[in-house]
Chains A and B, each alone.
Chain A
Amino acid sequence: MTALPPLTLPPGSFAKAFPFHLAFDRALVITQVGASLRRLGPELRTGARLAEILTLEQPRIPLEFSTIAASQHLLFVLASHDSRFRLRGQVAPLTDPDQMVFLGSPWVTEPAAIRQLGLTLDDFALHDPVVDLLQILQSQRATLADLQKLTDRLSRQKEALREANDRLARQFAELERIQGLSRSILETAVDGIITINETGVIEAVNPAVERLFGYESGELLGRNVSMLMPSPVREAHDGYLMRYLRTGQRRVLGIGREVTGVRKDGILIPLYLAVGEVTGGDRPRFTGILHDISERQNAARALRAAKESAETANRAKSEFLANMSHEIRTPLNAVIGMTGLLLDTELNPEQHDCVETIRTSGNTLLELINDILDFSKIESGRLELEQTAFDPRACLEDALDLVTPAATAKNLELACWIDESVPAQIIADPSRLRQILVNLLANAVKFTPAGEVWVEAVAKPAVSPQIELRFAVHDTGIGIAADRLQRLFQPFSQADSSISRQYGGTGLGLAISRRLAELMDGVLEVESKPDQGSTFAFTVQALLAPVDLTLPEEPALAALAERRLLVADSHAINRRILERHARARGMSVQTAASAAEVMALWQTGDPFDAALLELSLLGRDAQSRSNWLDQLPVERASRIGLMAPFGFRGHKRFPACVQTVLAKPLKAAPMDRALLRLFDLTPPTPAAGEPVIPAGPPSRRREMLRILLAEDNVVNQRVALKLLERLGYRADVASNGFEVLEALARQPYDLILMDVQMPELDGLEATRRIRAHWPGPTQTIIAMTANAMQGDRELCLAAGMDGYIAKPINREELRAALAGVRPTPER
């Protein structure tokens, strides 16, 4: 090693290059201290002993000049006794062999330490890297902090990721579960489920589809769905899809419908198909659900067949019934017709009775058959109600007329009470209303051995313009036990089978009546107690006629006002009827229930202007009645009217004081006429009402006229027959045009009263055929029709009829029409 020439630093330079130097002598007394070191440790002054201030931490040698001098190659670390600072550096000999110098700087690892030690960067020599090391350290720390931050963030993100993964795993598991469930549903579904894309290619099918169409598993995938369809749908299907995708027009989507599918083996199967659009996918898809409806269709077909066969059977039954009744009626009509011919011949009384019995029984049988037909018509819903304007009071009185002979024969008192609430004109079906009334009245008469049968009618407003009419038929008959009341309305059933034996009848009457009432939106009910009588009441709905056709009141009636009248009748109902009627005319009325009462009233109090007395009150025979009347003090009441039962014929033997005889049952118009006659006032014209005296026995001349009544309605038949009978005629009956032709083929008739509207062959056509088959003036044909319109007459005459009367039949019109007919001479 070559010795270098010694370098000598000027003192300023040394101090600047080594601001922390410390020089000391052999006694370890400080000889010089750098400026920065003085700032760091002010106790390090010249003259101070090193060992008193500093400790030698490195090297581990005794703090002696010689040992220090021998350790120049070692790193020296000196620490202040109070450990406030440490110095790092090395020792070097000086030119003076008795002195050495420590060269170094403070050992710091924290930037803050520089300031804490009271130093600045300027205290360090520029070549000293301590500050830079601190800077690097600091930068490394900052980076560490950044990395820590990054690690924290990554940890947080990892945690979040783990949670998200857990969530995803759970969702995935749930998704798998749902998918499994969906798959299971699809695979086990009974219905076929098929998914196609927008080009019609099958993307998925469930096993049911394959089963349904007979394909192997997977065979259908990727093929066009139209292969499952028959022509021409197969060829058109792609077009349907394209049209939907182009226009969005739905024809099939969302709507279930029946289609036909083709199996692999070519067999066609009926299917119910519902197509839906699958939304939210990468391309349009459609899902169809297919349900095999073969069984349903078979069942429906079977049901239809069963229905058709039932309907056929029902039709056959109806036809059979119609045919049967026709077959029965034809010979029956012949029998009845022949009795008519027989009755026109010379018969001894016994023979006459036999023929009459045959005729009556034949008519009963005919009615029975008509009842059965009627009922079957109602049951099958084929009955249509008429809507005609008519007077319900007249309708009720007509019905009363029909049962009056029977009631009179049993000596029953028959009456009818029509409340003032009942309007004079309603719109309903008069024939059917009368049918119910006649049925109930006939029953009442039939089942009442003695006493009264009376009917009352009231009306109350219903939903405008409708009114409800209520009719109640009361009797004092044998009554019905409570437990048998309901069976009454069962068809073909009577309250007691012994009853039917005793009283006869089909047992259809009440069933028919109840059904008719129901058809007219009403009800039919019964109240009854054994041996106390029955009340059969029913309601019907009717329209109020828009125009009230009530005739103006007879002006003469006004003269009745203020007159005093005595009414005597053993029946309370008759007293009530007459009393109300007379009061309505302004009269003053007193009533009596026995002859003794009459006598007592007659002899005391104010005198009466007139008296209406029940015939039977006065005595059993003409003589006793005459005697009774004679004893009356004439000066107290010279005017006397008698009320006689229907068909009473002993008028001629009454004393002169009897002004009038009023026939029972009591009716409004006859009552008015009787009152007027009592006071010698002019009664209304006969055209409007009854004859003054009830009809006598029919004359032979009239009976000679052979009449055929063509009328399909049973009650109308009875009304017409009764009218004819009153006028002295007898007639045979035909229920339709064919029966008319049959009757004419059997025997000639002088007059045919022809209903225009009849089933099977109507009156117009029947007339045309009669005129074609029997040309010449052999029979007169008079039309009867409810169609009271102007054009009808011309229609009838054009068909070959000779005359025309309107229904309901007016007695005088009928009489006038009959008067013009003469028996055909060539008979």
Chain B
Amino acid sequence: MYGMVNKALEGMVVDQFGEEAWERIKAEAGADIDVFISNQGYPDAITYNLVAAASTVLNRPATELLEAFGVHWVVKTAREGYGELMEANGRTLREFLLNLPNFHARVSLIFPHLQPPRFVCTDVTDQSLRLHYYSHRAGLTPLVQGLLRGLGQMFSTPIHIEQEAERAAGAEHDIFRVSWERAAAA
């Protein structure tokens, strides 16, 4: 996982729980790293350990933390670091979601070691689509839900997410039915 993910996790914890909580979490996870470099690859285990440690230290379920992390990623991290590009990725939630496959195609060119997830949009209507999420990593489904909610916030578009297929429950991949209100679309 690239450093930006761990850094984003750090940003969320520091934002919501303070610097000291993050130090405790790092100590609990055994991650003796002062600064995560955004475009340097780190073992996935570090990220998983950090999430598990945060769950222990903050006494919250990992799923809840992951979802919150997804929201935070979109609203704070991506916007701060890549805000213009994010915005340039689409004028509306719909546009943004439809651009997601291209977005990840580009990202994987720029970050050759990144093993980005793959998104496919099907059944696209004006107010909904079906988002297929493929990842070689397990357990990040709540993160995706958080990302979607974050996008809803970014585009000020009330969003409804319904998970239609779940990899954790044996499905081949996760499928979300995402719908939104047209009125709020820019």
Using a CB–CB cutoff of 8 Å, the interface residues on chain A facing chain B are 110-115, 119-122, 126, 131-132, 134-136, 138-140, 142-143, 145-147, 149-150, 153
Contact = CB atoms under 8 A, between A and B. Distances in A.
Nearest to B77: A142
Contacts of B88: 111, 114-115, 119-121, 131
Contacts of B110: 132, 135-136, 139
Nearest to B86: A111
B111 A139 contact: yes
B81 A121 contact: no
Contact of B91 (A111, A120, A145): A120
B17 interface: no
Nearest to A126: B102
Given A143-B38, A153-B35, A131 B4 contact: no
B37 A143 contact: yes
Contact of A120 (B3, B40, B90): B90
Interface residues of B, number: 28
B35 A149 contact: yes
A142 B102 CA distance: 22
A154 to B, nearest CB: 8
A113 B88 CA distance: 10
Interface of B: 3-4, 7, 34-40, 81-85, 87-91, 95, 99, 102, 106-107, 109-111
Contacts of B109: 132
Given A120-B88, A150-B35, 18 more contacts: A110-B84, A111-B82, A111-B83, A111-B84, A114-B84, A122-B90, A122-B99, A131-B85, A132-B106, A132-B109, A135-B85, A135-B107, A143-B37, A143-B38, A143-B39, A143-B40, A146-B35, A146-B38
Contact of A150 (B37, B87, B90, B99): B37
30 contacts: A111-B82, A111-B85, A114-B88, A119-B88, A120-B89, A120-B90, A120-B91, A120-B95, A121-B88, A121-B90, A121-B99, A121-B102, A122-B90, A126-B102, A132-B109, A134-B85, A135-B85, A138-B85, A139-B111, A142-B4, A142-B39, A142-B81, A143-B38, A143-B39, A143-B40, A146-B7, A146-B36, A146-B37, A146-B38, A147-B37
A145 B4 CA distance: 12
Contacts of B85: 111, 114, 121, 131, 134-135, 138
A207 B91 CA distance: 90
Contacts of B37: 143, 146-147, 150
A150 B35 CA distance: 6
Given A115-B87, A132-B109, A135-B107, A153 B34 contact: yes
Interface core residue of A113, A121, A134, A136 (most chain B CB under 10 Å):
A121
A147 B99 CA distance: 31
Nearest to B107: A135
A142 B99 contact: no
A143 B39 CA distance: 6
Contacts of A145: 38
A120 to B, nearest CB: 6
Nearest to B83: A111
Given A131-B106, A135-B106, A112 B39 contact: no
Contacts of A111: 82-85, 88
Nearest to A112: B84
Contacts of B7: 146
A493 B34 CA distance: 102
A99 to B, nearest CB: 32
A139 B99 CA distance: 20
A136 B112 CA distance: 12
A142 B85 CA distance: 13
A115 B107 CA distance: 20
Nearest to A111: B84
Nearest to B106: A132
A110 B106 CA distance: 17
A132 B111 CA distance: 11
Contacts of A134: 85
A633 B40 CA distance: 155
A146 B91 contact: no
A121 B103 CA distance: 10
Contacts of B89: 120-121
A111 B111 CA distance: 18
A149 B7 CA distance: 12
A131 B111 CA distance: 14
A393 B88 CA distance: 135
A302 B13 CA distance: 86
A146 B84 contact: no
A139 B84 contact: no
Contacts of A120: 88-91, 95
A153 B3 CA distance: 17
B3 A146 contact: yes
B35 A139 contact: no
A451 B138 CA distance: 137
A153 B10 CA distance: 16
A122 B38 CA distance: 27
Contact of A142 (B34, B35, B38, B84): B38
A153 B34 CA distance: 8
Contacts of B4: 142
B38 A139 contact: yes
Interface core residue of B89, B90, B106, B111 (most chain A CB under 10 Å):
B106
Contacts of A114: 84-85, 88
A-B CB proximity, top 4 nearest: A111-B84, A150-B35, A142-B38, A112-B84
A146 B40 CA distance: 10
A146 B109 CA distance: 21
Contacts of A135: 82, 85, 106-107, 110
Contacts of A139: 38-39, 110-111
Contacts of B3: 146
A150 B83 CA distance: 23
Contacts of A146: 3, 7, 35-38
A119 B89 CA distance: 10
B106 A115 contact: no
A115 B79 CA distance: 14
